[in-house]
Amino acid sequence: MSTADQVGALFGFILTLLVFSFLLGDNPLFRVTVHLFIGVAAGFAAVSAINSVLLPHLVVPILSGSASERLLTLIPLVLGGLLLTKASPRLASWGNLPMAYLVGVGAAVAIGGAITGTLFPQVLASIDLFDRQAAQAVEPGLVVGLMNSTVLVIGTIASLAYFHFGIQTRQHQTSRPQAWIASLGQIGQVFIAIAFGFIFAGLVSAALVALIERMKFLVEFIRTLLMPLIG
Q: What is the 3 state secondary structure string of 8-72?
A: HHHHHHHHHHHHHHHHHCCCHHHHHHHHHHHHHHHHHHHHHHHHHHHHHHHHHHHHHCCHHHHHH
| Whole-number pLDDT of residue 66 | 82
| Predicted pLDDT of residue 200 | 94
Query: Taking each helix axis from N to C terminus, what angle separates 120-128 and 142-162, rounded to the nearest 10 degrees?
Result: 150
Does residue 231 form part of some domain?
yes
Indicate the pTM of the whole model. Answer: 0.59
Per the domain annotation, does 114 fall within a domain? no
How many whole angstroms from its chain centre is CA 183?
32
- The DSSP symbol for 2 reads -
pLDDT band per the 50, 70, 90 thresholds, residue 162:
confident
Residue 66 within a domain: no
Is residue 134 in some structural domain? no
Is 191 among the domain residues?
Answer: yes
- What's the chain's average pLDDT? 82
Per-residue model confidence (pLDDT) at position 168: 45
Q: How many domains does the chain have?
A: 1
Q: Predicted confidence band at 1 (pLDDT cuts at 50, 70, 90)? A: low
Domain assignment present for residue 208? The answer is: yes
Give a yes or no: residue 48 inside a domain: no
Question: Is 19 within the bounds of a domain?
Answer: no
Domain that holds residue 209: 147-231
pLDDT at 58: 84
- 122 or 84: which leads in pLDDT: 84
Residues shown for the chain: 231
- What tens digit of pLDDT does each residue of 4-59 get? 777 888 888 888 888 888 888 888 989 999 999 999 999 999 999 899 988 888 88
- For 119, half-sphere exposure in the C-beta direction (CA atoms, 13 angstrom radius) is 8
The H-or-E segment that residue 167 falls in is strand 167-168
How far is CA 200 from each of CA 187, 205, 221, rounded to the nearest angstrom? Answer: 20, 9, 31
Of 99-103, 185-189, 200-204, the one with minimum mean pLDDT is: 185-189
